[in-house]
């Protein structure tokens, strides 16, 4: 019996070492942000203060073939026991280009410019019937059956990167809610310099077709363009987007939605100061016709971040939203502040 146990232990150990030797490379990263969020809505009799926490834990897996092609994927566990958010496969070729397969995303979204704003996560709630879209990438859907190609750096010109994507029908029938049938997107980012200033220009365009059991519907579509200029410790960025957006669960469409945004960031030592303003306006209605009166959200945000230690950042943020629903002030905007810290690894 003792010999059998020793033999079994040796076999298990050998299998374990073989498994490790043949394993892909795995890396882990994550963050936990926790703090207090205060809200003073225009419609509330008094303000509220509540805890606001977010946790992310990601695992990336990668390997390289003998021919030099990289193969990678990843999955994320958010807030400990919530569902896993998995990426598809990414192939990286010897010329520096990449190809995302399965749940690939939309190339228009990959090239939008980041606009500075508040630090942390101050949040202001507006009424659910206010459907004005506030992000530069509010359009550009993609399904699981999709691919996205990313060019190598300096594609056809120094500082230029481009991308293209397509998404195909997954066969799911629409049953009371609209379903994405197909989509495509194209995006580009160009990086150059003007004296001591580094300039980044990003743009994208996308379109999609949808199916619905009740009616023939229009698709989501739009474009965005933005720039970012960095001079020393100062960053200034601005962007604009326009298009239509399908709200699948609500059986509605936002027609002629526009978003304008501008922001500034300044770094001095361990402190980062930021400010931003955005204005969004869209006409919500049925899939086939606009409603006639716009929803709107104007947001002003401020932030202060302090690098306490390696991977630890203290954040103080403030945000104000002035909202209109169907052209009338809906009294659901207001002010919000956030005070907390983020720890990353």
* Model pLDDT for residues 142-174, shown as the tens digit of each residue: 988 999 999 999 999 999 999 999 999 888 777
With a cut of 80, say whether residue 262 has pLDDT above it.
Answer: yes
> H or E stretch including 7?
helix 2-21
Instruction: Supply 197's token pair.
Output: 């200033």
Higher pLDDT, 84 or 191: 191
Per-residue confidence (pLDDT) for residue 80, from 0 to 100 = 47
Concatenated DSSP letters of 95-149: TS-EEEESS---TTGGGPPP----SS-------TT-----STTS-----SSEEEE
Euclidean distance between CA atoms 29 and 323, whole angstroms = 37
Question: Cα torsion at 76, 82, 83, 89 (round to 10°)?
Answer: 0
| pLDDT category of residue 64 using cuts at 50, 70 and 90 | very high
Min mean pLDDT across 247-256, 278-287, 331-340 is at 247-256
What is the H or E stretch that residue 19 is in?
helix 2-21
At residue 147, the pLDDT reads 95
CA 44 to chain centre: 30
Neighbouring C-beta atoms of residue 32, cutoff 10 Å: 15
Return d(Cα 286, Cα 282) in angstroms, integer.
Answer: 13
Q: Which residues contact 142 (CB under 8 A, 6 or more apart)?
A: 103, 104, 105, 106, 148, 165, 167, 180, 183, 185
What tokens appear for 74 in the block? Answer: 């990843």
Determine how many CB atoms are found less than 10 A away from the CB of residue 252. 18
> pLDDT class for 136, splitting at 50, 70, 90?
very high
Domains of the chain: 31-344 (2.40.160.10)
Query: Over 60: is that where the pLDDT of 8 sits?
Result: no
Residues 6+ apart with CB under 8 A from 139: 108, 206, 208, 220, 221, 222, 241, 243, 244, 245
**Spatial distance between the Cα atoms of 268 and 11, rounded to a whole number of angstroms:** 59
Q: Is residue 105 a contact partner of residue 146, using CB atoms and an 8 Å limit?
A: yes
- Match 């926790």 to its residue by tokens: 34
Cα 55 to chain centroid distance, Å, stands at 16
- What band does 329 get if pLDDT is binned at 50, 70 and 90? confident
Which has the closest alpha carbon to 308: 271, 258, 267, 266? 271
**Sign of the four-CA dihedral 13, 17, 23, 25:** positive
| Chain CA centroid to CA 287, Å | 25
- Is residue 345 very low, low, confident or very high in pLDDT (cuts 50, 70, 90)? very high
Give pTM, 2 decimals: 0.83
Length of the chain: 345
65-111 pLDDT tens trace: 999 999 999 888 765 444 456 678 999 999 999 999 998 989 999 99
């Amino acid at each position: 019996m003792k010999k059998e146990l020793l033999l079994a232990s040796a076999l298990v150990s050998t299998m374990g070492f073989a498994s490790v030797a043949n394993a892909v490379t795995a890396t882990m990263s994550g963050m936990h942000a926790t703090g207090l969020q205060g809200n003073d809505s225009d419609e509330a009799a008094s303000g509220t203060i509540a805890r606001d926490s977010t946790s992310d834990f990601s695992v990336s897996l990668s390997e390289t073939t003998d021919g030099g092609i990289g193969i990678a994927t990843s999955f994320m566990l958010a807030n400990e026991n919530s569902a896993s958010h998995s990426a598809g496969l990414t192939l990286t070729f010897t010329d520096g280009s990449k190809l995302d397969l399965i749940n690939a995303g939309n190339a228009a979204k990959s090239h939008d410019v980041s606009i500075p704003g508040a630090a942390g996560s101050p949040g202001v709630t507006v009424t659910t019937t206010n459907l004005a879209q506030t992000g530069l990438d509010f359009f550009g859907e993609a399904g699981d059956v999709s691919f996205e190609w990313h060019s190598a750096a300096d594609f056809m010109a120094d500082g230029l990167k481009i991308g293209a994507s397509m998404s195909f029908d997954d066969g799911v029938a629409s049953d009371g809610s609209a379903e994405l049938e197909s989509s495509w997107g194209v995006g580009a980012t160009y990086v150059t310099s003007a004296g001591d200033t580094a300039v980044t220009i990003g743009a994208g365009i996308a379109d999609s077709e949808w199916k619905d059991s009740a009616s023939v519907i229009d698709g989501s579509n739009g474009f965005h363009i933005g720039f970012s200029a960095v001079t020393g410790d100062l960053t200034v960025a601005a962007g604009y987007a326009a298009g239509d957006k399908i709200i699948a669960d609500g059986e509605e469409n936002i027609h002629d939605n526009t978003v304008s945004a501008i922001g500034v960031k300044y770094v001095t030592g361990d402190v980062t100061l930021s400010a931003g303003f955005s204005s969004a306006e869209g006409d919500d209605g049925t899939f086939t016709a606009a409603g006639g009166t716009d929803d709107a959200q104007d947001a002003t945000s401020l932030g202060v971040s302090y690098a306490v230690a390696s991977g630890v950042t203290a954040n103080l943020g403030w945000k104000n939203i002035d909202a209109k629903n169907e052209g009338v002030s809906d009294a659901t905007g207001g002010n919000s502040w956030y005070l907390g810290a983020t720890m990353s690894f």
